């Protein structure tokens, strides 16, 4: 790979004697990773299934390397939301930010959803995850991945960070900023990125990063923590962006990140930060800075969504009584013809570009309720009365995922279709056949 002269000079200065080892890493194959969805099973349970050849990613408990010739994206377990395909280094921000169930968490540059699904799984269904991306197009991919993972307690939106700051001041306990950057750390994985690299791009990214940091500072509650990450080596976009931010915000301080598993210290006066280099770890390049806001000040107050009256959701309540073994509790809200279940403390989002608020249960039309794909993915087999659980070896699994009608005797009516006890979607059983209700845009191709 031919690297720009300006870039090679910068890297020689940055790495010194290690530069030759860094260059040698380009001759090595990239690493492939997947991260297990801990909302559905433990990493140990997934490994014991022996569907792929796996070795552990040392900085992420749920992370595994898999062999590049394997195709986990073409497997029923992928469609069951059991894992997310993610470059191993990209698992580090979501693993290092200390998330606790019940917290309010923001992923401000979230698409396509790798880090959001990681944060959402760590919340374990408690608290609120706001996953935002300024690009409405990219936010659609983000939404699908959050629904695939079965995350119930999320808001997916597409707003500039400055707009969120106006509506959600001092609101979040934790914020993840996976900032737009020049992508130097991804050159081995995506060689085409080399062609677009230049000094002007670095300057543009640094300006964008400063604006995002500024907006997020106002959204973090006193005592909260914020993790800034990039996939570049450029000091201008890493230590310089952070030091400039800290100069403007004396209420923030760096929290040291453990230097283990091949992690290196930040440059210059910021050794608390961490750098990941491809010649030192099994993964691509990354930068991490963890910061905490002082305890002084007040938690932000926001208007919460109000729920619907019981008479307005009667079709759903009839469905729940007939199809579910559980009774859902929370704030039921109708947007358009869709019914949602909101987490406690969900802020009112009127006036913002929101793709999804809470758990989409389904649609209310002409006095009837039709369950959604997101509803199926957020349930467990034991929460539904009528289940068709296919084994992985059953050819009806792939046929169902392709949208076909399949044969299966049993109780008629709405049925949750599963593979090895993990939900895939809905079907309506009639006359020994499952009329397929799998989401059209999700079908196996």
Catalytic residues: 231
Backbone dihedral region for residue 410 (phi beyond 0: left; psi -120 to 50: alpha; all else: beta): left
HSE, CB side, 13 Å, CA atoms: give it for residue 98. 9
Phi then psi dihedrals of residue 184, to 5 deg:
-60, -30
Place of tokens 């619907």: 308
Q: What is the rounded distance in angstroms from the CA atom of residue 37 to the CA atom of residue 91?
A: 13
The 3-state DSSP class for residue 229 equals: strand
CA atoms of 329 and 125, how far apart (whole Å)? 13
Q: How many CB atoms lie within 10 A of CB 109?
A: 23
3-state secondary structure of 298: coil
Six-digit token string for 317: 């309540």
The string of DSSP codes covering 94-124 is: HHHS---TT-EEEESS-TT-HHHHHHHHHHT
**CB-based contacts of 184: which residues, under 8 Å, 6+ apart?**
7, 197, 231, 232, 233, 234, 285
């Amino acid at each position: 790979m031919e690297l720009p002269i300006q870039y090679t000079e910068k890297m020689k200065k940055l790495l010194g004697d290690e530069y030759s080892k860094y260059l040698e890493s380009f001759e090595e194959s990239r690493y492939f990773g997947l991260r297990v969805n801990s909302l559905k099973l433990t990493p140990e349970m997934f490994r014991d299934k022996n569907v792929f050849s796996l070795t552990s990613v040392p900085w992420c408990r749920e992370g595994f390397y898999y062999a590049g010739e394997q195709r986990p994206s073409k497997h029923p377990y992928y469609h069951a939301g059991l894992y997310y395909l993610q470059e191993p280094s990209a698992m580090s921000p979501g693993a290092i930010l200390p998330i606790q169930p019940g917290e309010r968490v923001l992923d401000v540059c979230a698409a396509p959803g790798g880090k959001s699904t990681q944060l959402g799984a760590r919340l374990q269904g408690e608290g609120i995850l706001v996953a935002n991306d300024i690009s409405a197009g990219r936010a659609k991919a983000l939404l699908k991945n959050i629904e695939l993972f079965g995350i119930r307690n999320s808001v997916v939106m597409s707003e500039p960070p400055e707009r969120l700051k106006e509506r959600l001041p001092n609101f979040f306990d934790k914020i993840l900023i996976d900032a737009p950057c020049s992508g130097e750390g991804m050159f081995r994985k995506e060689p085409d990125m080399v062609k677009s690299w230049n000094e002007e791009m670095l300057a543009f990214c640094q300006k964008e990063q400063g604006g995002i940091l500024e907006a997020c500072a106002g959204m973090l509650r006193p005592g909260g923590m914020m993790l800034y990450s990039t996939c570049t080596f450029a000091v201008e976009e890493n230590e310089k962006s952070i030091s400039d931010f800290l100069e403007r915000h004396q209420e923030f301080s760096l929290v040291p990140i453990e230097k283990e598993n091949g992690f290196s210290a930040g440059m210059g006066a910021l050794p608390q930060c961490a750098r990941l280099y491809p010649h030192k770890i099994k993964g691509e390049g990354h930068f991490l800075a963890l910061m905490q806001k002082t305890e002084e000040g007040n938690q932000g107050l926001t208007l919460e969504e109000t729920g619907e009256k019981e008479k307005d959701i009667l079709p759903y309540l009839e469905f729940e009584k007939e199809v579910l073994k559980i009774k859902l509790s929370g704030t039921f809200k109708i947007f358009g013809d869709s019914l949602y279940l909101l987490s406690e403390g969900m802020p009112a989002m009127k006036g913002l570009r929101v793709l999804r608020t809470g758990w989409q249960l389904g649609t209310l039309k002409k006095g009837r309720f039709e369950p959604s794909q997101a509803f199926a993915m957020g349930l467990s087999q034991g929460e539904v009365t009528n289940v068709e659980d296919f084994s992985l070896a059953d050819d009806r699994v792939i046929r169902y995922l392709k949208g076909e009608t399949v044969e299966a005797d049993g109780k008629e009516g709405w049925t949750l279709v599963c593979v090895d006890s993990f939900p895939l979607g809905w079907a309506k059983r009639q006359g020994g056949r499952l009329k397929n209700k799998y989401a059209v845009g999700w079908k196996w191709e």
